[in-house]
Chain A
Amino acid sequence: MSSAGFTWEGRSFQIDARCLEGDPVPGAWVHVCALPDEGARIQYDQPEVQQVRRDALAWWIPLLGDELVCLSTLALDEVYCGGAITVARSPRLFDQDPFARLFPGTVIRSDVFSVVAAPAGPVLERYAGAPWPGGRFG
């Protein structure tokens, strides 16, 4: 399984399933860059979405360092992205989250997210429509 359901403000998204598969980090901080409005979506292939993923690989993940728990884009279907979540042990760097360029961020706390190894770049392309950075062939 490469994706799992995530519901926020009554809106359903698909996230990288690995974010929910390990031992949960209690009280993790979640930066949800999305909007409740069902119309708030953008195509994965849009340059804005490509560029924030490049930024995530280039400096967002290194900036978070050991504070990072996991991150995932919020997939709506095989074409559209509804934003992204970054889960960390502290919210202190969330004001620099590049995914907030797609949709504004909201900070919540959660006990369900687990540590996922940061993605290895430079792959940006998604695997068969899976939420980035999850999925693989075979």
Chain B
Amino acid sequence: MTALQPGERFPDLDLPDHTGRARTLSELAAGDPVVLVFSRGWWCPKEQRYLRELTGLQDEFEVAYTRIVVVSVDEPGVQSAFRAGLGARFTFLSDAQRQWLGRLGLEETTDTTHHPYLPTAFTLHPDLTIHAVYPGYWYWGRATMQELRRDMRTISRAVREGFDGP
């Protein structure tokens, strides 16, 4: 389990995206609340199921000034194909070199074949302060779409001036 807890600032990840371009997490947040999902990779049926669910939520995110970012150990080309298959319009970050995996304490030690991320989701304020953490090793530990909506509402209420109406 990660040591990162609510109230702490999430590290500003610097990784290539699914097209291979260098990106930072703060750049992707761009002043908006973020759902940050660490995913095992394309091969895992649980990840396929969960990311299909998340893709279904993107229609709401795209009109609500909120972002979705997925991190996995897949290579950018693989992520790009997986993303296209899902129909996702959000950004994937590739940590194929495992440069952040250990630093974040998110190694899934039981998978000695892929050495992937331990499935974990964070909801973040625009400045990357952690609002909530969802451990997803067991599928039922993962954030439901309703929980993500609830967190985006709470964060947006805190950071958007006039949230209850101008």
Residues of A within 8 A of B65 (CB): 123, 125, 127, 137
Is there an interface contact between A58 and B19, defined as CB atoms closer than 8 Å? no
Q: Among the interface residues B19, B27, B69, which one has the most CB atoms of the partner chain A within 10 A?
A: B19
Say yes or no: is A20 at the interface (Cβ < 8 Å to chain B): no
Per-position 1/0 for B124-153, Cβ under 8 A of A: 001000000000000000000000000000
The answer to whether B20 touches A65, judged by C-beta atoms less than 8 angstroms apart, is yes
Which of A62, A127, A136 has the most chain B CB atoms inside 10 A of its CB?
A62
Q: Which residues of A contact B (CB under 8 A)?
A: 54, 57-59, 61-62, 65-66, 117-118, 120-125, 127, 136-138
Residue B61 contacts which of A118, A123, A136 (CB distance < 8 angstroms)?
Answer: A123
User: Is chain A's binding surface mostly helix, strand, loop or mixed?
Assistant: loop
A125 touches B62 (CB 8 A): yes
Given A127-B65, A137-B160, CB of A117 within 8 Å of CB of B21: yes
Q: How far is the CB of A19 from chain B (nearest CB, A)?
A: 16
A/B interface sample: 13 pairs, CB < 8 A: A54-B62, A61-B19, A62-B83, A118-B21, A120-B91, A122-B61, A122-B89, A122-B90, A123-B32, A125-B63, A127-B65, A137-B31, A138-B31
Q: Is A54 in contact with B23, judged by CB distance below 8 angstroms?
A: no
Q: How long is the Cα–Cα vector from A124 to B59 in the complex, in angstroms?
A: 9
B66 to chain A, nearest CB (A): 7
Q: B96: CB under 8 A from chain A?
A: no
